[in-house]
Amino acid sequence: MTKQFAVIGNPIEQSRSPELHHAFAAKTGVDLNYQKILTPLDGFESTAKDFFARNGVGINVTVPFKEQAFALCDQLTERARIAKAVNTLWMQDGKLHGDNTDGQGLVAAMQALGWHLDNSRILILGAGGATRGVIYPLAQAGAKQIVIANRTLARAEQLVEDLSAAVPQTELKATGLEQLSGEYDFVINATSASLTGDTLQLPESLIFHHAYEMAYGKPSSFLDQAQQRQVPATDGYGMLVGQAIEAFSIWNGVKPELKDFL
């Protein structure tokens, strides 16, 4: 029987998830149908419950429902609990399970580029949900130090306070965006600046050797500056594929190779 999946969000038209999951299915021989569902802002819970009531197997959750999905779950993975956000849902023994595959998607995408996270120093720009979701997976991949730089310093400080205990092997620090300096192996743009068309200005005193932009398909002043400095740099398409592969593997028990879909 064809397994039914969906991604729920608002807006949803831009989602690449159906084409990715259908491509994984074709490669691995899984019989599935994956649809997009646009849900009103107050309709996430009823849409998700209705999908599972009709024997749907799994749901991906995107903006702005990841925190609501987190709150609905009966069981959470460790990384979803730490992220306080869920992008992957499934039912098991009558219980709603939730995971967050975004951070592992980023780690897998960086590793696929041959970027070595072990013992690395990482600077993350932004202190919103996108940053929260990737700290624990980056730490698990071996980051020695993660500095969170945010326009609103207090939000970065709050994240450090919330997450330090979860990543005891990694030094977590907060800083403002203004006073950025120092040398990092990786800088990751997790602000929403590229999504809103805002410019991010990286100071000359900031040295970095690789740049990862979480957004994709948008002009990015962050990527432009990395390219001007001739630093290896990429947009977030690999992360998108990586999180989809993780979800596919949870639901279907078979894991496509990231490099086949980049």
Of 161 and 257, CB closest to ligand ATR: 161
The dihedral formed by the CA atoms of 106, 159, 128 and 126, expressed in degrees to the nearest 10: -70
Judged by CB under 6 A, the residue of 35, 192, 221, 249 near ligand ATR is 192
User: Applying CB under 6 A, does 43 fall inside the site for ligand ATR?
Assistant: no
In angstroms, rounded to a whole number, what is the distance separating the alpha carbons of residues 14 and 11? 7
Q: What CA–CA distance (Å, rounded) separates 257 from 109?
A: 11
Q: How far apart are CB 53 and ligand ATR at their closest, in Å?
A: 29
The Cα angle at residue 169 between residues 82 and 161, in degrees rounded to 5: 50
66 is catalytic: yes
88-92 and 121-125 beta bridge pairing: unpaired
> Does the CA dihedral 248-254-255-257 come out positive or negative?
negative
Catalytic residue among 36, 49, 66, 173: 66
Q: Which residue is nearest to ligand ATR (CB)?
A: 128
Question: Of 11-19, 89-97, 181-189, 195-203, which part binds ligand ATR (CB under 6 A)?
Answer: 195-203
Choose, by CB under 6 A, the member of 56, 98, 129, 242 that binds ligand ATR. Answer: 129
Q: Which residues inside 199-228 make contact with ligand ATR, applying CB under 6 A?
A: 200
* Secondary structure (3-state) at 105: helix
> Hey, which residues does 147 pair with through a beta bridge?
123, 173
Residue 33 as a binder of ligand ATR (CB under 6 A): the answer is: no
Q: Which is nearer to ligand ATR, 238 or 256 (CB)?
A: 238
Using CA atoms, how far apart are residues 31 and 25, in angstroms rounded to an integer?
7
Q: Which residues are catalytic?
A: 66
Interface positions with ligand ATR (CB under 6 A): 126-131, 150-152, 155, 177, 190-193, 196, 198, 200
